[in-house]
Amino acid sequence: MWFLKVFEKLNKDKINYAVVGGFAVALHGAARGTIDLDIIVKLTADSLKSTEECLKELGFISKLPITAKDLYSFREEYINNKNLVAWSFYNPKKPAQIVDIIITHDLKKMRTKTLRVQGTTIRLLSIGDLIKMKKQSGRPQDLEDISALERLK
């Protein structure tokens, strides 16, 4: 499972992250299929740079011609003028392996929990904060995820 290698590397590099999106919904216990791995990090220059370096060391490359420094400097402009929600990375050797760094939410304002999957520690956004995040998005899939997560509470 490719995503376990991502979590192992994030942990090894001491990057403060949390899984969000479909993976988080599934890890909380609701049935949910997803392809990409969505994470949030602290939206600081150092955290974004460390995350970028970590993903590059794993062979992932940015889908956009931007760097962590660009994202940190122009994040609000990207969100407001370009409708950018996530900074996406993919593995060119296995293009279905995608990691999205959600840039509309800052981890420093969120609660997390940890769990272990096949010996790997995974940091996961709390159900309450995941529900809040998905309510803000309002997409049909997010509304379904909210219903599933509320049943788990």
Place of tokens 């309510």: 135
When pLDDT is cut at 50, 70 and 90, the band that residue 1 belongs to is confident
Overall average pLDDT of the 7-11 stretch: 98
Domain hosting residue 18, numbered range:
2-152
Distance, in Å, from the CA atom of 135 to the CA atom of 28, rounded to the nearest integer, reads 17
Lowest-pLDDT range, 52-61, 70-79, 143-152?
Answer: 143-152
Task: Give the CATH number, domain containing residue 131.
Answer: 3.30.460.40
Read off φ and ψ for residue 33, nearest 5 degrees: -95, 140
Q: How many folded domains does the chain comprise?
A: 1
Overall average pLDDT of the 114-129 stretch: 96
8 Å CB contact between 34 and 10: no
Read off the pLDDT of residues 73-94 as tens digits, 9 standing for 90 and up.
999 999 999 999 999 999 999 9
pLDDT on residue 32: 77
Kind of pairing between the strands at 112-117 and 17-20? unpaired
Read off the pLDDT of residues 127-144 as tens digits, 9 standing for 90 and up.
999 999 999 988 888 989
